[in-house]
């Protein structure tokens, strides 16, 4: 039996502050949980599943902070895609009768603690395989993404200006989000003239570094009907892992090719019918290869695809309408925000930034490093089953 | 190739970059690197090379993997010029080149491109392994530099 439309997102909350030096990670999670319950019209006692990823003992630590004893826990760690993967797992567990209401939480104080997410270097690495590729060679996160960008440019003629178009359109959307960190308009030249961080990626090709968090509550489609907000049904889901392929890695492709295929197949919808793409944007190149590998365009055609304005307000494929990681927030593992904004858009709650008739959206997380080890999660979300 | 390594001037300051922490599965690679040999793992069962080196073959799961001295020759598959960060030792030396090298044995490996102005590095450039000695540690870090081409 397919899981198509069996579950729905019924409650959400996004932590508003992007700089929170005086709170703990668990506090961010717990406050987002409380607000998401209110959004859904549920109480803490209704929740029997807890998912989180990030630090320490994962969901176990969080259960103590929340003082809950769930029937289902998931601390699956696939980096920034974890929360999207949690939603897929939650949908599966709910449909199987293991639990009824699952809360997925994220919190981070990366900004206020001064964690160098992208450029910090990998440090000492005892275990293979990190030992061969990490700190001993001065590897940085942005550098690993830059290797994908360089190879993509070499194979397909992709340009810095094409990558910049993604940053520019995302900034236009950020102007509609009062909580977004960067809201002033930018042009292509601003991006390509910003300082180089790791060639060919410029500063404005890179995501922000912020604090933040959020909560997503998932339950059965049947239960969702009686709750406060319009259900946002999960029509399709997929998860996948990309890695070094024993030394044969093609760095221009990402695991989105598999997680996306599974999600679209389950949903039974066409790419052309998608009204909103919420795709993890750690860097501009992340979006470009993800669009290709999710099947919105052919491999290698991402450059021209993103350069005609289709991602901007009023365009054919609005992308990251909250301002994304490039302009709104990026606390380190951003996947949850793709679900939060997709839910707001499908519900019709985005005011001036509302996409007309936004009945079908994709929320896609990417965790780890795209030219290397990474995990992806893809959801197809809809206002109807 | 490794034997052509020129004498490196003694660096007055200590090596600040991270060092590998040798463990049973990786020690032979680093011991060979100290002898200026670039080692690869090949499976005796399925006959394929793989990278990074593992005791269990990632192709067929055989435990019959053996160390083979690689040619140390390859081409730049991709690279980035790091202008910011890179951790201790590296951050002070920006810009430097992090690169993926496709070795002649067919596997892509992680390293740095050295011995050339970073802006001159190109995808497809023919390179060879060189080994940077870490003073007093008995360890050498393999990197790659442009390989001199034979004159026609
Ligand atoms: Zn084998």
For residue range A307-351, list pLDDT tens digits in order.
Answer: 999 999 999 999 999 999 999 999 999 999 999 999 999 999 999
pLDDT at A57: 87
**B58 within some domain:** yes
**B72 within some domain:** yes
Is the four-CA dihedral A324, A328, A332, A333 of positive or negative sign? negative
Residue B3 has pLDDT above 70, yes or no: no
d(CA A44, CA A29): 13
Q: B110 lies in which domain range?
A: 27-146
Chain A residues lying within 8 Å of B120, measured CB to CB:
none
d(CA A83, CA A29): 13
Mean pLDDT of chain A: 95
**B8 within some domain:** no
pLDDT at A224: 98
Q: Give the rounded percent of residues in chain A with a pLDDT score beyond 90.
A: 92
**B129 within some domain:** yes
Complex ipTM more than 0.85, yes or no: yes
Residue B5 has pLDDT above 60, yes or no: no
pLDDT at B136: 78
d(CA A274, CA A256): 16
Q: A156 to chain B, minimum CA–CA distance in Å? A: 13
Q: How far is C-alpha B12 from the geometric centre of its chain's CA atoms?
A: 24
d(CA A170, CA B24): 47
Q: Using CA coordinates, name the residue in chain A closest to B118.
A: A199
User: A22 CA to middle of ligand 1, Å?
Assistant: 53
Domain ranges in chain A are: 7-113+211-232, 139-206+236-382
**B62 within some domain:** yes
d(CA A100, CA A92): 11
Q: What is the CATH number of domain A7-113+211-232?
A: 3.40.47.10
Least confident of A113-127, A321-335, B22-36, B117-131: A113-127
**B84 within some domain:** yes
Split at pLDDT 50, 70, 90, the class of B1 is very low
Residue A258 has pLDDT above 90, yes or no: yes
Residue A176 has pLDDT above 50, yes or no: yes
What superfamily would CATH give domain A139-206+236-382? Answer: Thiolase/Chalcone synthase (3.40.47.10)
pLDDT at B2: 46
**B2 within some domain:** no
Helices (H) then strands (E): counts for chain B = 1, 8
Q: Where are the alpha helices (DSSP H) in A96-234?
A: 130-133, 141-156, 160-174, 188-193, 221-224
Domains held by chain B: number: 1
| CB within 8 Å: A135 and B85 | no
Question: Could you read off the pLDDT of B103-116 as tens digits, one per residue?
Answer: 999 999 999 999 99
CA dihedral A242, A89, A27, A325 (to 10 degrees): 40
d(CA A310, CA A321): 12
**B7 within some domain:** no
Split at pLDDT 50, 70, 90, the class of A55 is confident
Q: Using CA coordinates, name the residue in chain B closest to A145.
A: B80
Residue B20: which of A136, A142, A196 has the nearest Cβ?
Answer: A136
User: B42 CA to middle of ligand 1, Å?
Assistant: 8
The mean per-residue pLDDT over the stretch B50-75 comes to 97
Question: Could you read off the pLDDT of A189-228 as tens digits, one per residue?
Answer: 999 999 999 999 999 999 999 999 999 999 999 999 999 9
d(CA A277, CA A288): 12
User: B125 CA to middle of ligand 1, Å?
Assistant: 30
Residue B8 has pLDDT above 70, yes or no: no
Q: Give the rounded percent of residues in chain B with a pLDDT score beyond 70.
A: 90
d(CA B98, CA A138): 7
> What's the predicted TM-score (pTM) here?
0.95
């Amino acid at each position: 039996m397919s899981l198509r439309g069996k579950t729905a997102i019924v409650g959400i909350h996004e932590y508003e502050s992007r700089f929170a030096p005086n709170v703990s990670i668990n506090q961010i999670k717990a406050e987002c949980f409380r607000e998401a319950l209110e959004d859904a019209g549920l109480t803490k006692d209704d929740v029997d599943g807890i998912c989180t990823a990030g630090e320490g003992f994962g969901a176990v630590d969080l259960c103590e902070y929340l003082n809950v004893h769930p029937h289902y826990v998931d601390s699956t760690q696939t980096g920034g895609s974890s929360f999207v993967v949690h939603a897929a797992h939650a949908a599966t567990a709910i449909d199987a009768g293991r639990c009824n209401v699952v809360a997925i939480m994220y919190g981070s104080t990366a900004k206020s603690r001064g964690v160098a997410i992208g450029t910090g270097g990998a440090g000492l690495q005892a275990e293979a395989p990190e030992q061969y590729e990490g700190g001993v060679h001065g590897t940085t996160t942005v550098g690993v993404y830059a290797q994908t960008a360089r190879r993509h440019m070499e194979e397909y003629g992709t340009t810095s200006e094409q990558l910049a178009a993604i940053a520019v359109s995302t900034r236009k959307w950020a102007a509609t989000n009062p909580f977004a960190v960067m809201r002033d308009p930018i042009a292509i030249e601003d991006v390509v003239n910003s300082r180089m961080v790791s060639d060919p990626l410029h500063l404005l090709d890179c995501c922000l570094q912020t604090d933040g968090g959020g909560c997503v509550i998932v339950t059965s489609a049947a239960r969702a009907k009686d709750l406060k907000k319009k259900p946002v049904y999960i029509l399709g889901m997929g998860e996948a892992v990309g890695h070094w392929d024993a030394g044969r890695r093609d760095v221009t492709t990402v695991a989105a090719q598999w997680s996306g295929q599974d999600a679209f197949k389950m949903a039974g919808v066409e790419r052309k019918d998608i009204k909103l793409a919420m795709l993890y944007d750690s860097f501009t190149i992340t979006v470009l290869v993800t669009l290709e590998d999710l099947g919105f365009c052919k491999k290698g055609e991402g450059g021209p695809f993103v350069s005609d304005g289709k991602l901007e307000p009023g365009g054919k494929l609005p992308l990251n309408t909250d301002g994304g990681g490039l302009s709104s927030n990026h606390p380190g593992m951003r996947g949850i925000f793709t679900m939060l904004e997709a839910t707001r858009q499908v519900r019709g709650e985005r005011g001036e930034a509302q996409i007309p008739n936004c009945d079908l959206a994709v929320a896609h997380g990417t965790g780890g490093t795209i030219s290397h080890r990474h995990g992806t999660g893809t959801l197809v979300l809809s206002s109807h089953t | 190739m490794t034997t052509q390594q020129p004498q490196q001037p003694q660096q007055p300051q200590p090596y600040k970059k991270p060092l590998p922490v040798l463990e049973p599965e990786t020690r032979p690679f680093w011991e060979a690197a100290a002898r200026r040999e670039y080692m690869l793992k090949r499976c005796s069962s399925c006959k394929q090379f793989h990278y990074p080196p593992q005791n269990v073959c990632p192709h067929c799961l055989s435990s019959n993997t053996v160390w083979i001295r690689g040619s140390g020759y390859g081409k730049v598959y991709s690279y980035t010029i790091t202008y910011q960060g890179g951790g201790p030792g590296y951050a002070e030396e920006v810009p430097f080149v992090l690169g993926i090298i496709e070795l002649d044995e067919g596997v892509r490996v992680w390293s740095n491109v050295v011995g050339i102005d970073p802006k001159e590095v190109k995808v497809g450039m023919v390179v060879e392994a060189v080994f940077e000695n870490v003073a007093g540690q008995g360890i050498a870090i393999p990197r790659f530099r442009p390989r001199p081409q034979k004159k026609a």
